[in-house]
Amino acid sequence: MTSPASRRTLLKALACAGLAGAGFPMAARAQSFPQAFSSFSVDVSALKDKGLGPFADLVGAAALDELRRSFADRVDSRGPRLVLRLTSVTMTAFPDNSSGYKGRGGGGNSGHDALEGEALAVGRRGEVLASHPMLAVLDVNTSPLTPNEQGRAVAVAQHYVRWLRRQI
């Protein structure tokens, strides 16, 4: 049986390789993504299907606002639409970056908020010209007494779009 230390080292190495893009065709797809867009929109229907309702609208509005700001220099009326389809948002129950009682135990998402989705370049006839799936994770370090879920949701949406800008 593998010791916990070597198992952790192996998982860390795999995570680093994944973050660097080693062995994944993501970079090739991202290069074929159009560089200019005629408009921007955010689809939060998957989040609403999960029962997030107004919270999904908040995340979508924050992402749309950041899309317009981050991609302002890449607007061209001849380009396709950039549609952001957000599929999952995860807010940690331990916003102070701990993982339970005195830092021991607890869940696997401690101290991190995450947003998952896909960027789509959509042509004039509604055809998907390119897609780029992405997961953005943001460290959280706020007091559990004032968790500020709305502020954290806006921050993770902005983080997602800023990383998307770097990727495509």
Q: Is the model's pLDDT at 165 over the cut of 90? A: yes
**Three-state secondary structure string covering 106-125:** CCCCCCEEEEEEEEEEECCC
Encode burial over 22-42: b for 16+ CB neighbours within 10 A, e otherwise.
eeeeeeeebeebbeebeebeb
* Model confidence band, residue 21 (pLDDT cutoffs 50, 70, 90): very low
- pLDDT score at 12: 56
Average pLDDT, integer, range 130-149? 86
- Return mean pLDDT, the chain: 81
Contact 43, 83 (CB under 8 A): yes
- pLDDT score at 110: 56
Average pLDDT, integer, range 90-101? 66
**104-115 pLDDT per residue, tens:** 444 444 588 999
Q: Tell me which DSSP letter residue 45 carries.
A: H
* Model confidence band, residue 5 (pLDDT cutoffs 50, 70, 90): low
- pLDDT score at 103: 44
Task: Kindly report the backbone phi and psi dihedral angles of residue 130, in degrees, each rounded to the nearest multiple of 5, phi listed first.
Answer: -160, 155
Distance separating alpha carbons of residues 55 and 40, to the nearest angstrom: 20
